[in-house]
Amino acid sequence: MTEDQGRRRAGGRAARQAARAHDTTVHPPFLTRTMAPFEVLSEEGLALIEQNAETILEEVGLDFRGDADALRLLREAGADVDGERVRFPRGMCRRIVQASAPHEFWQVARNPARNVHIGGMSTVFAPAYGSPFVRDLDTGRRYGTIEDFRNFVKLAYLTPYLHHSGGTICEPVDLPVNKRHLDMVYSHMRWSDKPFMGSVTQPQRAQDTVDMARILFGADFLEENVVLISLINANSPLVWDSVMLGAARNYALANQATIITPFILAGAMSPVTAAAVCAQTLAEALGCMTFVQLVRPGAPVVLGSFASSISMQSGAPTFGTPEPALVLYAMAALARRLGVPFRSGGSLCGSKIPDAQAAYESAATLQPTVLAGVNFVLHAAGWLEGGLAMGYEKFILDVDQCGMMGVFIKGIDLSENGQALDAIRENGPGQHFLGTAHTLANFETAFYRSSVADNNSYEQWLEDGSQDAAQRANAVWKRMLAEYQAPPIDPGIDEALVDFIARRKASFPDSDV
């Protein structure tokens, strides 16, 4: 290597890293879209799906299992209850939800600069949720631990492109099932200052989450403010079970938000066709949102939709295919018509590793997520293998895409600086713009800068070791964790949280259910 090449290379690298380290861009705490959503169905098409959802609620009904109080509430509100089967007169659910569920709301973080708006033109990105396994390039695939969990909380805290700390980012399989929620919730509270999600795996664990939030925020504060948002999944088709109903009830009683989400692998939990998936999703969500509004009118609910196709050969779930994208767009429109915030999408994929399959599939989910106008995006980063594994490198790659979405949704700057007519006038035909005043004035912020893309020459890329995107991402997450510094917390509050957890853990034996 000649001296010149050495200088050029060191200079280029150092300059790039310095530019990133001193990135002074102010990142918003959530995205505010500026464009009307993409629509795949006409008004008539959407109305047809709504009518079909009402038909399902009226004729088939939903099972509310193992929760006598839910059945009582629904009966008193006018539903026809036969054993655990609940049938709803046409329009009943929609009327009850529209009467009291908020159109939009704020979730408050312990750092108020991190508060997120949920609904309307806002979009909030949260990490993936629920994987038993984690994967990184160094150790491959293995069961998740509380250390992995903390690592992902820290990474989500550090990136400006995720707005939320999420919930069960990965299962800390090294901790007992019946106590790990305490450590997970504490990790969100302690190692991040972004908003987060609560436990739902038992009603009591939801209550523990609420109790810890009361310590962190003050008990009175929760009555007036949403500080928790939690994921309530249906047992599709058409079943809500006692665990989910109990968790939803405890959050609603504390005036905290829930995301009411039918989880549908089309062909298994619903018919294979998109119109049927939409009608069934809407029916299931309406039923449970109605229950929540009966528990506490005004408790925030988000309409969720998780829909994937399956391989009709093996029955395995498939992601990033066109059919779930159509469902996503239609469900977003249905949520807008209902008047509640919408959760769906993310960076979903079936691939086991962060390869081209993973990226195509994730992009084919995240683009519709943003263009449909999803308000709360779980699984925005890290998801691999149909949700079975949380990937360190995948997380970094996905977060980069989330960053690009933040630029995209701002739209085109039509200011005089954006139009740049004078620059074109001054430059004239045949002259490049690299050194013009307009370029120099705008170059720092002109284009999104990826943390993982390699746009160097082929020769430079060879010289740098012919790395693929996953290998570069590996270096990024390690550097981030090495540089992590915890956000400050009131020592008295921290002590009270640690004390609460210790007392709860001592009060019942470990168990793996």
Q: Using CA of residue 455, residue 459, residue 463, residue 468, what is the dihedral sign?
A: positive
Minimum distance, C-beta of residue 122 to a copy of itself, in the bound complex (Å): 18
Q: Nearer Cβ to a copy of itself, position 111 or 436?
A: 436
Minimum distance, C-beta of residue 513 to a copy of itself, in the bound complex (Å): 21
Closest CA to 292 of 53, 40, 69, 54: 69
What count of other Cβ atoms lies within 10 Å of the Cβ of residue 88?
24
Q: Nearer Cβ to a copy of itself, position 33 or 190?
A: 33
Question: How far is 361 from 188, CA to CA, in rounded Å?
Answer: 29
What are the structure tokens assigned to 381, written together?
A: 């980063």
Q: Nearer Cβ to a copy of itself, position 145 or 460?
A: 460
Q: Nearer Cβ to a copy of itself, position 190 or 394?
A: 394
Minimum distance, C-beta of residue 156 to a copy of itself, in the bound complex (Å): 19
What are the structure tokens assigned to 428, written together?
A: 């004239």
Question: How far is 221 from 147, CA to CA, in rounded Å?
Answer: 31
Minimum distance, C-beta of residue 80 to a copy of itself, in the bound complex (Å): 14
What are the structure tokens assigned to 361, written together?
A: 């599939």
Helix axes 322-338, 274-295, angle to 10 degrees: 40
Angle at 271 between CA 307 and CA 280, to 5 degrees: 60
DSSP conformation letters of 362-386:
HHHHHHHHHHHT-SEETT-S-EEGG
Minimum distance, C-beta of residue 105 to a copy of itself, in the bound complex (Å): 28
Question: How far is 118 from 350, CA to CA, in rounded Å?
Answer: 28
Q: Nearer Cβ to a copy of itself, position 98 or 427?
A: 427
Minimum distance, C-beta of residue 371 to a copy of itself, in the bound complex (Å): 6
Q: Nearer Cβ to a copy of itself, position 32 or 419?
A: 419
Q: Nearer Cβ to a copy of itself, position 407 or 498?
A: 407
Question: How far is 98 from 154, CA to CA, in rounded Å?
Answer: 38
Q: Nearer Cβ to a copy of itself, position 81 or 239?
A: 239
Q: Nearer Cβ to a copy of itself, position 222 or 384?
A: 384
Minimum distance, C-beta of residue 317 to a copy of itself, in the bound complex (Å): 7
The amino acid occupying position 435 is G
Q: Nearer Cβ to a copy of itself, position 160 or 271?
A: 271
Question: How far is 310 from 308, CA to CA, in rounded Å?
Answer: 7
Question: How far is 229 from 196, CA to CA, in rounded Å?
Answer: 7
Minimum distance, C-beta of residue 41 to a copy of itself, in the bound complex (Å): 6
Minimum distance, C-beta of residue 115 to a copy of itself, in the bound complex (Å): 25
Minimum distance, C-beta of residue 16 to a copy of itself, in the bound complex (Å): 5
Q: Nearer Cβ to a copy of itself, position 165 or 280?
A: 280
Angle at 294 between CA 291 and CA 300, to 5 degrees: 80
Minimum distance, C-beta of residue 17 to a copy of itself, in the bound complex (Å): 10
Strand segments, DSSP code E, in 283-427 are 301-310, 317-318, 342-344, 376-377, 383-384, 389-391
Contact 230, 247 (CB under 8 A): yes
Alpha-carbon torsion angle 15, 21, 24, 30, nearest 10: 130
Q: Nearer Cβ to a copy of itself, position 60 or 77?
A: 60
Contact 233, 205 (CB under 8 A): no
Q: Nearer Cβ to a copy of itself, position 227 or 452?
A: 452
Angle at 235 between CA 312 and CA 51, to 5 degrees: 85
Calculate the alpha carbon distances from 114 to 31, 106, 227 in Å.
12, 11, 11
Question: How far is 229 from 124, CA to CA, in rounded Å?
Answer: 12
* Residue entry with tokens 């809500």: 240
Calculate the alpha carbon distances from 436 to 106, 262, 399, 457, 483 in Å.
44, 54, 33, 24, 37
Minimum distance, C-beta of residue 294 to a copy of itself, in the bound complex (Å): 20
Minimum distance, C-beta of residue 395 to a copy of itself, in the bound complex (Å): 12
